[in-house]
C-alpha cells in the first residue's frame, strides 16, 4: 500500500489495517514454517505495510500534539 493511500485513511482505518496486517504476517510465518509458502516476498511486503501504517499514525499523533500547543 502506498503512503498516499495511507495518508487518506482515518486513524481507525489505520489501526484496523495494522491489526489485519499483523494477523496476515502471523499466518505467513506459520505457512513458511510448514513449507507451504510460495512467495517469500509477501512477508517483507506485509512488514513494510505495517511499518508505513504505524509511521503515518505516529506522524498524525505528533502533528496533533504540535497543533494543541
Domain borders along the chain are: 3-68
Per-residue pLDDT of the chain (69 residues; tens, 9 = 90+): 788 999 999 999 999 999 999 999 999 999 999 999 999 999 999 999 999 999 999 999 999 888 887
pLDDT for 30 equals 96
Looking at the structure, give the CATH architecture of the domain made up of residues 3-68: Orthogonal Bundle (1.10)
Q: What is the rounded distance in angstroms from the CA atom of residue 65 to the CA atom of residue 69?
A: 7
- CB neighbour list of residue 11: distance below 8 Å, 6 or more residues apart: 57, 60
DSSP-based three-state secondary structure for 36: coil
**pTM of structure:** 0.89
Amino acid at each position: 500500500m502506498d503512503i498516499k493511500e495511507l495518508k487518506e485513511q482515518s486513524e481507525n482505518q489505520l489501526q484496523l489495517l495494522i491489526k489485519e496486517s499483523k494477523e496476515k504476517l502471523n499466518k505467513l510465518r506459520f505457512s513458511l514454517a510448514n513449507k507451504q509458502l510460495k512467495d517469500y516476498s509477501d512477508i517483507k511486503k506485509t512488514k513494510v505495510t505495517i511499518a508505513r501504517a504505524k509511521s503515518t499514525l505516529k506522524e498524525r499523533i505528533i502533528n496533533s500534539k504540535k497543533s494543541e500547543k
